Amino acid sequence: MRSKIRSLISIIRLTGLAVAALAMWAFATIAQEVLEKETYAFDTSILLDLRKLHTPLRDRVMLGFTFLGEPNLLLVICLSLVIILWVRKHRSSATTIAIAGAGGIGLNILLKKLFSRARPQLWERPVDVRFYSFPSGHAMVSMVIYGLLGYFLASRFPKQRWWIYSLTILLVAVIGLSRLYLGVHWPTDIIAGYTAGLVWLISCILSLEIWQQSCSSFSDSKEKFLSSNRHQ
C-alpha cells in the first residue's frame, strides 16, 4: 500500500514539474514577444473590447476584486498564515509560505524592472498605478499566495479539494480580469504573471513535499533504530 502511495506521489510530482516547465516556456515566449513589441495589436484589441463593458456597477465590482490582489492585503494574508501555522507547530509549512510570499514579491519586482514595460494608457484609469507593467504583480502574487492557501485547505479538507481548487482558480482568474477591465495592465502582463507565479508556486509546493517526506523518512528510520535497540 505504501509503495502505491509513493508511486502516486511521484507521478503527481512529475506532473507538477511538467506543468512548471510548460509555464516557464510560455513565460519565455510571451516575454520575447513583448520585448519585440509584437503583442500591441493583440493587447489593445482586448482592452478596447473590455472598455465597452464598463458600467458604474461593474466598475465597483471590479475594484473590489482588484483589492483582493493588492500587495498589502496579500502580505497580511501571508503573515497571518505564517503565524497560524507556526503557532500550530507546522513550521515547515509556515516557512514555505514566508519564502513563497517574499520570493514571489521580490521576483515580480525584479522582472518588472528588467522589462520596464509601460502601462496601458487607453483611457483614464480609476486606480492609481505607478510602477512598471510586466508581469502583473496582482496576477503573479495572487497565484502564489491564494494558490498556497488553496493547497493547504485542500490538504486539510481532502473531500472538498475540488471545490477548493475550483474556487481558488476562479478567484485568481477574476483578479487578473479586474486588472484588464480597469485598464491598468496589458493582457500579456496578466498571462505572464500567471505563468511566472505558477512556476514559483509549484517550486515551493514540491520543495515542501520533498522536505516533509525527508523528515518523515528520517523519523521512521530513527524509530526503527530505537526500537531495535530496545529489543537487544
Asked if residue 224 belongs to a domain, the reply is no
Residue 210 grid cell = 520533498
175/67 Cα distance (integer angstroms):
8
**Coil, strand, or helix at residue 117?**
coil
pLDDT value of residue 227: 56
Residue 58 lies in a domain: yes
Which residue segment(s) compose the domain that 27 sits in?
A: 17-212
* Per-residue pLDDT, 230: 56
- The answer to whether position 220 is within a domain reads no
Amino acid at residue number 46: I
For residue 164, give the CATH number of its domain: 1.20.144
In a domain, 6, yes or no: no
Nearest alpha carbon to residue 103 among 210, 173, 204: 204
Among the listed residues 210, 148, 172, 151, the one whose alpha carbon sits nearest the alpha carbon of residue 14: 210
The answer to whether residue 195 sits within a structural domain is yes
In a domain, 92, yes or no: yes
169 belongs to a structural domain: yes
- Condensed to tens digits (0 to 9), the pLDDT of residues 91-111 reads 888 888 899 999 999 999 999
Q: Rounded to two decimals, what is the model's pTM?
A: 0.84
Count of structural domains within the chain: 1
Q: Which portions of the chain are predicted below pLDDT 70?
A: 1-13, 212, 214-232
At residue 20, the pLDDT reads 80
Cell of 114: 528588467
Q: Is 89 inside a domain boundary?
A: yes
